[in-house]
A and B are shown apart, each in its own frame.
Chain A
Amino acid sequence: MSTRLRSLLALAVLLPIIARAHSPSVLSPGVPTVIEDTSISYALYGVFETGDEVFRVKVSFPEDFALPVELFVPHREELKEHRPAFALVGPGLFFTPTAEERAALPLPLPEGAGAYVDLNRVSPRPVFYETFTRRFFWSTGVVALVVPKGDYEFWMWSPHKTRGKFGIGFGVEEGGDFSRAFEDWSVYAY
């Protein structure tokens, strides 16, 4: 079998896998992560080292969008009580947080901004299996948020100061640069 044919066969096997993966990236507390292209979906991973961190992600939508979102935590015994919360905050949002949700926010809500807040209290916790990494996660459950065009921020925080890994997934069209997963493998792995 020629080298070219072998390469083509390898690509045929690997491309469907790569093409269907979310574009991965790693979050740092205190440094907002800026998403340049919201037309593809993302799985952003982070670690609450102290439980006091606030992770921020800036997103912009050039047109109105129905945005699926979920926050997830590895399905491991030691993370059973780890329930990070998230909020999508922006001026054009129709969502108005309750007083309890507003009080739970880790940062002051900007003047005129709306916020969708998920305090991750659903019970029983939804579980999903991610086929690419072959891992199970607890999820907040997927919600589809109606987002008018504009600039927004995701905030992720740990309301009960629990520590551990988490991820947030959002977007529709899968794809992106899978190779970035290898740059921070320890965050994605166990």
Chain B
Amino acid sequence: MRISLMALGLLALPASAREPSAPGRLELFIAPEVTLVGLSAGVRPELLVRLGGEGPHRLRLAPGLLVGPEFTYVPVALGYRASFRDGQVVRPLVGAGLEYQYRFVSDGEPARQLAFYLEAGATFAVSSRLSVGLAGSADVTFRGGPGAGLGVRALVGWML
């Protein structure tokens, strides 16, 4: 009986928690995102390139397409992300980088800004390749006019 319960318990755990995942070099996230200052919502694909083999370090490239009640928003972020606890179920992440922010309307000049962003969140391993998560980010613009922003996004990731 004890063995059966242990077996059930193991089955309930995601594969990644039972066996170390073979770290892929690339990871792709599809991230539905909402920006709270300059309201908009849309999708933010993220391509993560692992730096230096195993370890938390990743290069993040994240273009996006978001639509708000007043404008369409196309951001492109390039930065660093650290994702901890590889092979565990819960994997915290933090990151920072630069973001080009392009907002446009149909009848006026577009707004182009450059921002520094910080992000934090966590992903949860569903299998050795699939993960889901949640992240928040804050940014401060230093080109194209002053401002600060907040964003929240869900993460659905696949290790390539």
Contacts and interface: CB of A to CB of B under 8 A. Distances in A.
A129 B146 contact: no
Contacts of A190: 39, 69
Contact of A75 (B35, B70, B147): B70
B32 interface: no
A20 to B, nearest CB: 5
Contacts of A124: 107
Interface in B126-160: 140-141, 144-149
B37 interface: yes
Q: How large is the interface on A (under 10, 10 to 19, 20 to 34, 35 or more residues)?
A: 20 to 34
B21 interface: no
A128 interface: yes
A76 B69 CA distance: 6
Interface string A45-76: 00000000000000000000000000000111
Contacts of A133: 37-38, 147
A135 B38 contact: yes
A75 B70 CA distance: 5
Contact of B103 (A76, A77, A129, A189): A129
A149 interface: no
B101 to A, nearest CB: 8
A153 B148 CA distance: 34
A6 interface: no
Interface in B91-123: 103, 105, 107-109, 111, 113
B38 A134 contact: yes
A131 interface: yes
A101 B10 CA distance: 80
A132 B70 contact: no
Interface in A94-142: 124-129, 131-136
A16 B107 contact: no
Given A16-B146, A75-B71, A190-B69, 13 more contacts: A14-B148, A17-B140, A75-B105, A77-B69, A125-B107, A127-B105, A129-B109, A131-B111, A131-B113, A131-B141, A132-B147, A133-B37, A136-B111
